[in-house]
Amino acid sequence: MLLSGITEGNPTVQRRAMAKAITLLESTRADHRLQADELLTALLPHTGRALRLGISGVPGVGKSTFIEALGLYLIEQGHRVAVLAIDPSSTVSGGSILGDKTRMERLSVHERAYIRPSPSSGTLGGVAEKTREAMLVCEAAGYDIVIVETVGVGQSETAVHGMTDIFCLLQLPNAGDELQAIKKGVMELADLVVINKADLEPLAATRAQLQIQSSLRLLGHHGNPEHDPHDDRQWQPTVVQLSALQGQGVAEFWQQVSRFRQLQTDNGRFAAKRQRQAQSWMWERIEAGLRQRFRDHPAVKAQLDHTTEQVLQGQLPASTAARQLLELFN
Ligand SMILES: Nc1nc2c(ncn2[C@@H]2O[C@H](COP(=O)(O)OP(=O)(O)OP(=O)(O)O)[C@@H](O)[C@H]2O)c(=O)[nH]1
């Protein structure tokens, strides 16, 4: 029922089915998880056709303004747009700052848009897993552009980068910010850097664009040794200027995204990246699952505190402790 509601339902039925499916995916009950896995497997043949776009940037850089402008532009072009979010703070506070519907007032009420806030509990890995699964639901429902948004802090950017086809980093025009991004290692993740609020400081925006463009050339794409900065059949990370507030530069931004898609499809990297992502996703979840089972194992549970204390007191080498605990798990 849920399956046909998602793939074939009229807009109202579909929206309800999507919300139900995503709630099911986010549930922690074991029986729900079984149903969710069945649903995902059934949905899989209907997925994979959307473009998955990751967007990050520090609070205040203009993500919501940009996503709203981009979303409305894409809808005008005939697309259907889903917006999902990974908010690391939600895992701590239980509340979500991202994906709040009031932030994108026009987009959120549009019938060709679907906006879902960040799942609000669990580890970052868990939250990312649920978002990735929600993305599949959106794709099965025929949304051909899926935007996954995150704030420019911590590991959440790596998570979003790991589930999207193209990763865009929003930056402010004033100098200095780009250096921070380079330091944090986020710049290497970016396929496309957007200097937003270019209307406020046009000169600074141009300066930032040039600076970042040359840093990106130095960094090499994603630290990938196979990347050749002179090969025009490969995507070269690009910097664009934009004013989300005035809607200026949105079409140019989309042109770049389309060029990325075309180029990377032609050279085989688009498909290869998705395969790599699926594989590392599988391993990440296996590792997370094993860690949880290890912690829940009765014999390990009984011994863990004591052994940890011994390691802390310098009475037992950490590696020996690990071996002993793993022995108990066996
Ligand atoms: N001048 C100008 N202001 C902008 C532009 N884009 C966004 N703003 C303003 O910047 C402020 C922050 O924008 P948001 O879109 O809420 O920023 P955000 O990054 O989504 O921030 P959070 O929603 O807190 O994560 C708002 O007051 C916007 O109106 C722009 O291109 N030019």
Tell me, yes or no, whether 271 lies in a domain: no
Strand arrangement, sheet containing 81-86: 113-115, 81-86, 145-151, 51-57, 166-171, 192-195, 238-241
**Are 62 and 205 in contact, with CB atoms under 8 Å apart?**
no
Checking DSSP bridges between strand 192-195 and strand 113-115, what pairing results, if any? unpaired
Tell me, yes or no, whether 37 lies in a domain: no
Q: Check whether residue 230 and residue 296 sit in a common domain.
A: no
Nearest-CA residue for ligand 1 atom 29 is 245
Nearest-CA residue for ligand 1 atom 26 is 62
- Ligand 1 contacts CB of residue 202 (under 6 A): no
Q: Check whether residue 247 and residue 297 sit in a common domain.
A: no
DSSP 201: -
Instruction: Please report the pLDDT score of residue 139 as a whole number.
Output: 96
Residue burial 7-46, b: 16+ Cβ < 10 Å; e: rest: bebeeeebbebbebbbebbbeeeeeeeeebeebbeebeeb
Q: Check whether residue 120 and residue 227 sit in a common domain.
A: yes
What is the number of structural domains in the chain?
Answer: 2
Tell me, yes or no, whether 72 lies in a domain: yes
207 Cα–ligand 1 center, Å: 21
CA distance 136 to 200: 38
Q: Indicate which CATH number applies to the domain containing 86.
A: 3.40.50.300
Nearest-CA residue for ligand 1 atom 25 is 59
Tell me, yes or no, whether 322 lies in a domain: yes
- Ligand 1 contacts CB of residue 150 (under 6 A): no
- Return the best residue to mutate from 64, 97, 107 for the ligand 1 pocket (most ligand atoms within 8 A of CB): 64
- Give 43-70 as a 3 state SS string: HHHHCCCCEEEEEEECCCCCHHHHHHHH
Task: Give the tokens for residue 25.
Answer: 């995916």
- Ligand 1 contacts CB of residue 34 (under 6 A): no
Q: Check whether residue 151 and residue 113 sit in a common domain.
A: yes
Tell me, yes or no, whether 261 lies in a domain: yes
Nearest-CA residue for ligand 1 atom 32 is 197
Q: Check whether residue 316 and residue 247 sit in a common domain.
A: no
Q: Check whether residue 165 and residue 287 sit in a common domain.
A: no
Tell me, yes or no, whether 137 lies in a domain: yes
Q: Check whether residue 157 and residue 53 sit in a common domain.
A: yes
- Ligand 1 contacts CB of residue 200 (under 6 A): yes
Nearest-atom number in ligand 1 for the CA of 248 is 31
Tell me, yes or no, whether 22 lies in a domain: no
* Other CB atoms within 10 A of residue 123 CB: 13
Q: Give the residue numbers spanning the domain of 55.
A: 45-266
From the first residue on, what is the mean pLDDT of each consecutive set of 10 residues in the chain (330 residues)?
Answer: 86 91 90 91 93 92 94 96 85 56 81 87 82 94 95 82 94 69 73 94 90 80 64 86 94 97 94 94 88 92 95 95 93
